[in-house]
Amino acid sequence: TDVLTSGKITASGFINSSIYLVNTYYEELGGYVIEISASGKHGIVVAMQDQGALDWYQATNLLSNSDNHDTAGAEFKDWRLPAKRELDLMHEQRVAVGNFTTNYYWSSTEYDNYYAWGQFFSNGGQSIDDSKNYTASVRAVRAF
């Protein structure tokens, strides 16, 4: 069927013609945009609240439970742990995004079989100080 999108009718269906801005909240994306592509159509969104605190191995259980997200974030099922670089972007925008603690947050970036990178939101330092069995805070990201 034909779809009307920004004044264009396409036979193939919906085409994302929206242009998004970095460092902006978008309810339709489920959170706050911390990174954007050159086209403005793709990027990374961070959830507006922590999903809880668990060890690195169990962190995905927190991300996939819609009860651990706000109303906008609960609509999406593709949340994941942020990569080390994305976690640093989250720290840089922590005041604008809001609701962060000063705790240690997990990233998805593994150091080896026993350690993964994390970041202290009190001072911004990234480290592998604690093993994957350590309980740390979890905040999800997703690509759009």
Termini Cα distance of the chain: 24
Q: Which tokens is 18 given? A: 């929206």
3-state secondary structure of 110: strand
- Residue 15: predicted pLDDT: 59
Residue-wise pLDDT tens digits, 17-65: 799 999 999 999 999 999 999 999 999 999 999 999 999 999 999 998 9
Residue 18's nearest CA partner among 62, 26, 91, 10 is 26
Q: What is the pTM of this model?
A: 0.86
- Residue 9: predicted pLDDT: 42
Residue 116 has pLDDT above 50, yes or no: yes
Instruction: Count the Cβ atoms, other than its own, within 10 Å of residue 24.
Output: 12
Mean pLDDT of the chain: 90
Residue 74 has pLDDT above 60, yes or no: yes
When pLDDT is averaged across residues 94-109 and rounded to a whole number, the result is 96
Q: Are 53 and 137 in contact (CB under 8 A)?
A: yes
Residue 47's nearest CA partner among 24, 77, 79 is 79
